[in-house]
């Protein structure tokens, strides 16, 4: 794992004792629309599925907690003739605020690590080096989520926007990054019934 991922995990471990009394676990499907941008020029976005899980802890203040996650996603780089598909492991870390029982807002950072092999329509492209991409990826993430219950099952839907802050290009003359729109749909376990707004309901971590 990269230094940036380790720093995120260390920060989470430091904050975890603050919220040990309230925790929720999320398991979700992820639809990821990634846009590859090189020196201000954006390629056509593409949507690919993935999955993730996360744990959210409270205790940072009224209706406020933090979430540490693990995601497996794929991103595509499209040219006029070929498509290159990269597999990423992402570690998102967000501060979460629950103003009501059904709404939560989040902001934080993520760190990503691409797999060493690339799936491509070009038989000559098999590695990150062959398309000029380097590890790691690092950026900011913002989220808006809705919590609801269907037949006593706690569900959530969340939209996230991430933007890369780290140059992924091995060519220093080019600035390359990914912007992503992510849609999460999943099941919540644990203290999901504890409302961020202070009443019983479908989501959030209690104070």
Angle at the Cα of 73 (from 122 to 36), degrees rounded to 5?
55
pLDDT along the chain (207 residues), means of 10: 52 52 84 90 86 86 87 90 93 93 93 93 92 92 95 95 93 90 94 49 46
Distance CA 116, CA 128 (A): 6
* Length of the chain counted residue by residue: 207
Give me the pLDDT at residue 202, please. Answer: 41
- Tokens 């092999």, located at residue: 117
Distance CA 33, CA 145 (A): 17
- pTM of the full structure: 0.83
């Amino acid at each position: 794992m990269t230094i940036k991922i380790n720093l995120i995990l260390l920060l989470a471990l430091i904050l975890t004792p603050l919220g040990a009394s309230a925790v929720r676990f999320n398991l979700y499907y992820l639809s990821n629309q990634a846009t590859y941008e090189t020196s201000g020029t954006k390629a056509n976005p593409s949507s690919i599925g993935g999955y993730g899980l996360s744990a959210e802890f409270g205790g940072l203040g009224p209706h406020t907690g933090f979430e540490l996650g693990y995601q497996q996603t794929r991103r595509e780089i499209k040219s006029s003739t070929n498509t290159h598909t990269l597999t990423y492991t992402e570690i998102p870390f967000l501060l979460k605020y629950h103003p009501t029982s059904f709404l939560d807002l989040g902001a934080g950072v993520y760190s990503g690590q691409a797999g060493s092999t690339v799936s491509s329509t070009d038989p000559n492209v098999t590695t990150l080096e062959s398309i000029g991409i380097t590890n790691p990826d690092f950026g900011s993430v913002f989220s808006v989520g809705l919590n609801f219950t269907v037949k006593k099952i706690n569900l959530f839907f969340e939209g996230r926007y991430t933007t890369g802050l780290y140059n992924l290009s091995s060519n220093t003359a080019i600035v390359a990054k990914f912007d992503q729109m992510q849609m999460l749909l999943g099941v919540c376990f644990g203290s999901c019934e504890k409302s961020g707004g202070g009443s019983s309901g479908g989501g959030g971590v209690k104070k």
